[in-house]
Amino acid sequence: MKTLILGIDDAGRGPVIGPMVLAGVLINDKIKKEFVKLGIRDSKTILPKKREILAKKIKESAITHHIVKISVDEIDGKTGDKLNLNQREAIATSMIINKLNKKKEQIKVIIDCPSANIKSWKEYMEKFLIGGSNLNVVCEHKADENHVVVAAASIIAKVERDNEIKKLREKIGINFGSGYPSDPFTRKFIYEHYGEFKGKGIFRESWATIKKHKSHKSQKKLF
């Protein structure tokens, strides 16, 4: 029996605005060779237009794929389940595996691990797997650099995250940039519009960037 390969990666772990996205891409050895020929690599090394083209080709060529989004409210812990971000990502990862695992073939699952403690994170994630006797789960750091299937998942996740941000910008009618704290457009948006949009599922209120902004505003009022 031939072994399939499932790569999983995330996009949007660090931004202060918008959701986090995880993607899983299921392939076989033949498709893996096609991905290598296409020049698929870590999404961070590819320009946006090229990512969009590759994302379309990945979806067309892969056996299947699946996307899970983690909302701002979930990231901020407003759902009341007291999960941290590593735990949320572990559960989202298990959701992808459960969705794509038909239990008919052996599957090697390769995950770009978000936690410094790979062993602990993997054990926590595996608690949520349904079945799994046909799975060989491997968690690594920099898996998106070392495995073309994980790179493919990183591209799908990144393009989906970018689309979510684009829709959010269009909805509110303001260009807030990428949503990353290092982006001048994002910082300007927070400074000028936080009061207008706070509590509306746009800002990650639990992030240090927002806490620092609120503290700065509070100090300005005092003086």
Q: What is the pLDDT of residues 133-157, one digit of tens each?
A: 999 999 999 999 999 999 999 999 9
Distance between CA atoms of residues 74 and 84, nearest Å: 9
Q: Which pLDDT band holds residue 216 (cuts at 50, 70, 90)? A: low
Nearest to 162 by CA among 174, 150, 145, 177: 177
Say yes or no: 212 and 142 in one domain. Answer: no
Domain final residue pick, 146, 168, 190: 168
Say yes or no: 16 and 108 in one domain. Answer: yes
Structural domain tally of the chain?
Answer: 2
Question: Which domain, by its residues, includes 62?
Answer: 3-168
The CATH code of the domain that includes 20 is 3.30.420.10
* pLDDT cut 70: percent of the chain above it: 96
Q: Are 89 and 36 in contact (CB under 8 A)?
A: no
Distance between CA atoms of residues 219 and 59, nearest Å: 50
Distance between CA atoms of residues 133 and 109, nearest Å: 12
Say yes or no: 130 and 198 in one domain. Answer: no
The CATH code of the domain that includes 211 is 1.10.10.460
Does the pLDDT at position 35 exceed 70?
yes
Task: Enumerate the β-bridge partners of residue 9.
Answer: 23
Say yes or no: 22 and 107 in one domain. Answer: yes
Distance between CA atoms of residues 218 and 44, nearest Å: 37
Of 68-77, 154-163, 212-221, the one with minimum mean pLDDT is 212-221
H-type alpha helices, the chain: 29-38, 48-61, 72-75, 85-100, 118-126, 143-146, 148-172, 184-197, 208-222
Say yes or no: 61 and 135 in one domain. Answer: yes
Say yes or no: 110 and 206 in one domain. Answer: no
Distance between CA atoms of residues 42 and 100, nearest Å: 22
pLDDT of amino acid 101: 96
pLDDT of amino acid 223: 41
Kindly state the average pLDDT of the residues 39-56. 96
Domain final residue pick, 153, 168, 183: 168
Say yes or no: 81 and 15 in one domain. Answer: yes
pLDDT of amino acid 1: 61
Say yes or no: 108 and 187 in one domain. Answer: no
Helix/strand/coil for 173: coil
Helix/strand/coil for 69: strand
pTM of the predicted structure, to 2 decimals: 0.92
Say yes or no: 180 and 106 in one domain. Answer: no
Please provide the average confidence, as pLDDT, over all residues in the chain: 93
Q: What is the pLDDT of residues 79-135, one digit of tens each?
A: 888 999 999 999 999 999 999 999 999 999 999 999 999 999 999 999 999 988 999
Domain final residue pick, 168, 186, 207: 168
Does the pLDDT at position 71 exceed 90?
yes
Say yes or no: 161 and 176 in one domain. Answer: no
Q: Residue 186 corresponds to which amino acid? A: T
Say yes or no: 66 and 136 in one domain. Answer: yes
Say yes or no: 68 and 98 in one domain. Answer: yes
Q: DSSP assignment of 2-44, as one string?
A: PEEEEEEEEE-SS-SBS-EEEEEEEE-HHHHHHHHHHT---GG
Q: What is the pLDDT of residues 184-213, one digit of tens each?
A: 999 999 999 998 998 888 999 888 888 888
